[in-house]
Structure 1
């Protein structure tokens, strides 16, 4: 079984190298085909132009009359006809070149399609040999089981890390939106403190309320992120305390002191949001590194499994 299997497996692996070669050839052929199409279009356009020049000299027209009066009609007509012939030849050459490149590209695409299944063929052969070896060697079976278990753990941790990363990225996006709204509210608040009027007050409150809604949404995302983080052995110290942020005084009382108090609340909350964003980015960077490490582990274990089967 081993010699026959090795021959079949080697033949399948050759397809991987062939596929890489065909992909490169196909990429070049597609570029050349696109260029050939442009050249054909340009040649056909030139042919139409030259044909019109000949027709203008042959028919009754101002151009015909002009060259007839000068006594150069025959000379000009011969020149235009010669140019038209050259244009026709060029158009035919570019058409044939494009057709040939289209044929070559189609052949390469067909060749590529015939090679695409090499990974599935290799996997099937590895499975075939694995089953054969499992029934004949306890040592092989134990080694393989250990590798599969390690791969399963790497995949499981990678999945949990990916889920934590996605939850974290969504949270950052939400907090960044809140940060922008608070920044806008702070700007309008500064304007409002120095006599911005009713419009400035309205815009400040509007942006602040939008920021509150966004922060409430972010708090839900934060709870989800913390749960995902716990699943991968992490923790996050994050909090957004905005109780009493925009209170009674700002809505029903006016004056520089009250505006100044509210402005301070806006600034404090924006700083809190910015601080949480910074912490999140640091956490996500560490999570991304762990996730990439698990991907590397999984790929390495897959190679080890394949090598164990191939060499046993």
Structure 2
């Protein structure tokens, strides 16, 4: 491989390693935040569980609610809050396990790349020798183009990875939206007399929703990291990647219990999908612009060589 090709390749590798290190640090921060959140949610879950037990037992408060005729209403509210807390707690635990695996994978990728800095320094020494021997402006211009080409090629790769992550997220959100529309139809049927069969189906759909939300959380984290690679800041997770599950489950549980709509979670999902689509469109535009810059660099290199 000639020195010009080696320079382009090693610059691209250095850029990739820098981005991997950024992902690694960001994933570490996510893991710390989720572990802290797990402790917080465990406290909430324990508290909500005590509230349910307190109302279910023959305590003074339980008897008081019974006399007032509001015990069942109070029980429904406490069970609802406990279920929402349990779903959020379980999701947080799953997120921690995912992040631990992702950190291990990133460590392996970093080990595989190694440290290209030594190769870069070796290429720079060779470049210096070539410039001293040729003493010409042409060689300097070509080396500058080669370095910029390496950086742009790394950027193209990052943009493509971010677009793929966004498209995967969009697909998952589309699927979630379709299932929520179906669940909403079941809710209407339940009101009209669907009975126990529909109630059982709806319980299954809660399990489906839990699985789907977990998958979307994974994809949100991945998309967030890829966007950081291309230096795009966004609050696509409605204030943070952990918030989507909380917001979704709160609305979903309320809607399922009152059995009149699944609108809150549906709105949340649609909002995320539209936001993801907007970001993907911006990424595609950046990719087009970067490819145009690469084409211009190739043309400039060709013209310099032809005129030399």
TM-score (norm 2): 0.51
Larger Rg: 1
Note if contact 1:161-1:232 (Cα within 8 Å) is conserved in structure 2: yes
Matching of residue 148 in structure 1 with residue 121 in structure 2 = no
Unaligned runs of 5+ in 2: 1-128, 238-243
3-state SS of 2:235 partner:
coil
Unaligned runs of 5+ in 1: 1-130, 252-257
Aligned counterparts of 2:266 and 2:196: Cα–Cα separation in 1: 23
Identify if the C-alpha distance between structure 1 residues 271 and 168 changes in structure 2 by more than 3 Å, giving closer, same or farther: same
Note if contact 2:186-2:202 (Cα within 8 Å) is conserved in structure 1: yes
Matching of residue 279 in structure 1 with residue 280 in structure 2 = no
Note if contact 2:255-2:264 (Cα within 8 Å) is conserved in structure 1: no
Identify if the C-alpha distance between structure 1 residues 249 and 229 changes in structure 2 by more than 3 Å, giving closer, same or farther: closer
Identify if the C-alpha distance between structure 1 residues 134 and 212 changes in structure 2 by more than 3 Å, giving closer, same or farther: farther
Identify if the C-alpha distance between structure 1 residues 162 and 192 changes in structure 2 by more than 3 Å, giving closer, same or farther: same
Report the CA distance between 1:182 and its aligned residue: 0.8
Report the CA distance between 1:137 and its aligned residue: 3.9
Aligned positions of 1:231-270 closer than 5 A = 231-239=229-237, 240=244, 241-245=247-251, 247=253, 258-260=258-260, 263=261, 266-270=262-266
Aligned positions of 1:46-57 closer than 5 A = none
Report the CA distance between 1:244 and its aligned residue: 4.1
Identify if the C-alpha distance between structure 1 residues 184 and 192 changes in structure 2 by more than 3 Å, giving closer, same or farther: same
- The residue aligned with 2:14 is none
Aligned counterparts of 1:297 and 1:248: Cα–Cα separation in 2: 51
Aligned counterparts of 1:271 and 1:304: Cα–Cα separation in 2: 50
Note if contact 1:133-1:140 (Cα within 8 Å) is conserved in structure 2: no
Identify if the C-alpha distance between structure 1 residues 243 and 188 changes in structure 2 by more than 3 Å, giving closer, same or farther: closer
Note if contact 1:176-1:277 (Cα within 8 Å) is conserved in structure 2: yes
Aligned counterparts of 2:268 and 2:253: Cα–Cα separation in 1: 18
Deviations along 1:223-258, one digit per CA (max 9) or x if unpaired, are: 11101101111122223123445559967xxxxxx3
Note if contact 1:191-1:200 (Cα within 8 Å) is conserved in structure 2: yes
Aligned positions of 1:175-190 closer than 5 A = 175-190=173-188
Identify if the C-alpha distance between structure 1 residues 296 and 134 changes in structure 2 by more than 3 Å, giving closer, same or farther: farther
3-state SS of 1:194 partner:
helix
Aligned counterparts of 1:249 and 1:288: Cα–Cα separation in 2: 37
Identify if the C-alpha distance between structure 1 residues 250 and 189 changes in structure 2 by more than 3 Å, giving closer, same or farther: closer
Note if contact 2:252-2:264 (Cα within 8 Å) is conserved in structure 1: no
Q: Give the alignment's Cα RMSD to 1 decimal.
A: 2.5
Aligned counterparts of 1:248 and 1:296: Cα–Cα separation in 2: 50
Aligned counterparts of 2:147 and 2:228: Cα–Cα separation in 1: 23
Aligned positions of 1:44-123 closer than 5 A = none
Identify if the C-alpha distance between structure 1 residues 249 and 285 changes in structure 2 by more than 3 Å, giving closer, same or farther: closer
Report the CA distance between 1:135 and its aligned residue: 4.3
By relative contact order (CA 8 Å, sep 6+), the higher-ranking structure is 2
Report the CA distance between 1:174 and its aligned residue: 1.1
TM-score (norm 1): 0.51
Deviations along 1:80-115, one digit per CA (max 9) or x if unpaired, are: xxxxxxxxxxxxxxxxxxxxxxxxxxxxxxxxxxxx
3-state SS of 1:196 partner:
helix
